[in-house]
């Protein structure tokens, strides 16, 4: 990674411009940091200002994430393409005003106007070894490329997140914000009907997740007071007919089957009509510290005088 970064920095490898203002969102570890919820929040932030956000994703594992983006941002261009320049051109042709590159911190071949790094508070307990021995794509020294850092927390307490943010502020000169990714509500898989997470209290629940950080999801379901049976799959798992049948069988022995948003897009249309619908756990991003600095940085991307 160090050699690759040096090659781009020295100009030995080409860096391409994008046709629109662009915000990159990524992390230093392999999955589970909450970069997709952050990217969705950014897209909604721009949409609320009357802009059309275009979401660019990598194609591997991008099908489920692309569908999550499309569900939250109907009508917005969502492009899964390994060639980010080509994807950007397609987003431009579909009316995008600004680009959000999901999972792009290590994409050094394209320039963007704002580079955001998401660091999970849960990674404070992760072994500090690079791939393949540990979960780290890059060391903390890579934060020098960031324009802002966002600490996220799911199962970690606010003190842990605040301590990590303080440590990061001692290492970088850019803004460091803290956000909680909390369980906001439950939605019916077919009906979309909203329910409070409190309906799980005291109930038998099968929590099924095919994501990078299933422990965070399971912890949030357990926090409702539910008695939880866990079913985990690898990240971006493609559910076979046998997998769906297993989940149907497991749901018969529980009060509720709860799945993540990424898994829900793969189960819609495949769940038997004569079975009670699973519940989808919907996360909400709430800024706990310095969120206004992120908003200022996002506004500057769309203000040419401030981008110079």
Q: How confident is the model at residue 305 (pLDDT cuts 50, 70, 90)?
A: very low
% of the chain surpassing 90 pLDDT: 74
**Longest alpha-carbon distance in the chain:** 61
**Domain identity same for 100 and 41:** yes
**Domain identity same for 210 and 65:** no
- Bridge partners of 176, per DSSP, are 149
| 54: CATH | 3.40.50.300
**Domain identity same for 18 and 167:** yes
Q: Does the pLDDT at position 129 exceed 50?
A: yes
Q: What is the number of H-type helices and E-type strands within the chain?
A: 10, 12
Q: Does the pLDDT at position 220 exceed 60?
A: yes
Helix (H, G, I), strand (E, B) or coil at 254: coil
Q: Does the pLDDT at position 42 exceed 90?
A: yes
pLDDT at residue number 308: 37
Q: How confident is the model at residue 30 (pLDDT cuts 50, 70, 90)?
A: confident
**Domain identity same for 150 and 78:** yes
The boundaries of the domain holding residue 267 are 182-283
CA distance 149 to 176: 5
pLDDT at residue number 284: 92
**Domain identity same for 143 and 219:** no
Q: Which two tokens stand for residue 113?
A: 């106007």
CA distance 247 to 278: 10
- Bridge partners of 118, per DSSP, are 27, 150
CA distance 38 to 174: 18
Chain-centroid distance of CA 93 in Å reads 25
Q: Which two tokens stand for residue 54?
A: 């275009």
**Domain identity same for 24 and 166:** yes
| Tens of pLDDT, residues 15-29 | 999 999 999 999 988
- Residue 132: cis peptide before it, omega within 30 degrees of 0: yes
Q: What share of the chain is helix, strand, coil (3-state, %, to 5)?
A: 35, 25, 40
pLDDT at residue number 304: 60
Q: Which two tokens stand for residue 263?
A: 């898994």
**Domain identity same for 17 and 164:** yes
CA distance 142 to 68: 29
Tell me the C-alpha to C-alpha distance, in Å, between residue 78 and each of 54, 75, 120, 235, 277. 6, 9, 25, 20, 27
| 236: CATH | 3.40.50
pLDDT at residue number 123: 78
- Flag whether the pTM goes above 0.85: yes
CA distance 53 to 97: 6
pLDDT at residue number 307: 42
Give the residue from 103, 113, 117, 120 showing the smallest Cα distance to 46: 113
**Domain identity same for 112 and 220:** no
Helix ranges (H only) for 103-203 are 158-169
CA distance 72 to 249: 30
User: What is the mean predicted confidence (pLDDT) over 243-268?
Assistant: 95
**Domain identity same for 160 and 64:** yes
pLDDT at residue number 236: 85
CA distance 298 to 130: 31
**Domain identity same for 12 and 125:** yes
pLDDT at residue number 61: 55
Q: Is 132 exposed, middle or buried (0-12, 13-18, 19+ CB in 10 A)?
A: exposed
- Bridge partners of 282, per DSSP, are 185
Instruction: Taking the CA atoms of 213, 215, 218 and 219 in sequence, report the sign of the dihedral they define.
Output: negative
**Domain identity same for 139 and 12:** yes
Q: Which two tokens stand for residue 112?
A: 């963007």
User: What is the mean predicted confidence (pLDDT) over 4-18?
Assistant: 90
User: In terms of DSSP bridges, do strands 279-289 and 256-259 run parallel, antiparallel, or are they unpaired?
Assistant: parallel
CA geometry: angle 122, 263, 266, nearest 5 deg: 160
**Domain identity same for 11 and 111:** yes
Q: How many domains does the chain have?
A: 2
């Amino acid at each position: 990674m160090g050699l690759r970064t040096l090659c781009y920095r020295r100009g030995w490898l080409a860096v391409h411009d994008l046709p629109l203002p662009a915000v990159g969102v990524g992390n230093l570890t392999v999955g589970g940091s909450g970069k997709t919820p952050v990217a969705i929040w950014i897209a909604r932030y721009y949409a609320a200002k009357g802009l059309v956000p275009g979401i660019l994703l990598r194609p591997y594992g991008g099908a489920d994430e692309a569908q999550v983006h499309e569900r939250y941002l109907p009508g917005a261009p969502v492009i899964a393409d390994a060639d980010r320049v080509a994807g950007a051109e397609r987003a431009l042709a579909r009316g995008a005003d600004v680009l959000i590159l999901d999972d792009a911190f290590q994409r050094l071949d394209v320039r963007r106007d704002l580079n955001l790094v998401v660091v999970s508070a849960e990674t404070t307990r992760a072994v500090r070894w690079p791939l393949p021995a540990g979960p780290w794509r890059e060391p903390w020294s890579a934060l020098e490329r960031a324009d802002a850092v966002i600490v996220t927390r799911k199962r970690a307490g606010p003190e842990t997140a605040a301590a990590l943010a303080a440590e990061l502020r001692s290492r970088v000169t850019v803004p460091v914000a803290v956000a909680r990714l909390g369980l906001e509500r439950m939605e019916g898989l077919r009906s979309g009907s909203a329910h409070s997470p409190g309906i799980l209290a005291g109930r038998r629940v099968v929590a099924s997740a095919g994501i990078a950080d299933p422990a965070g999801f399971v912890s949030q379901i357990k926090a409702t007071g539910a008695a939880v049976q866990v079913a985990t799959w690898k990240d971006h798992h493609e559910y076979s007919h046998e997998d769906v049948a297993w989940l149907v069988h497991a749901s018969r022995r529980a009060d509720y089957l709860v799945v993540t948003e990424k898994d829900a897009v793969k189960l819609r249309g495949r769940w038997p009509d004569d079975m009670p619908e699973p519940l989808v756990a919907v996360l909400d991003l709430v800024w706990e510290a310095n969120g206004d600095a992120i908003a200022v940085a996002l506004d500057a991307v769309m203000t040419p005088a401030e981008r110079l």
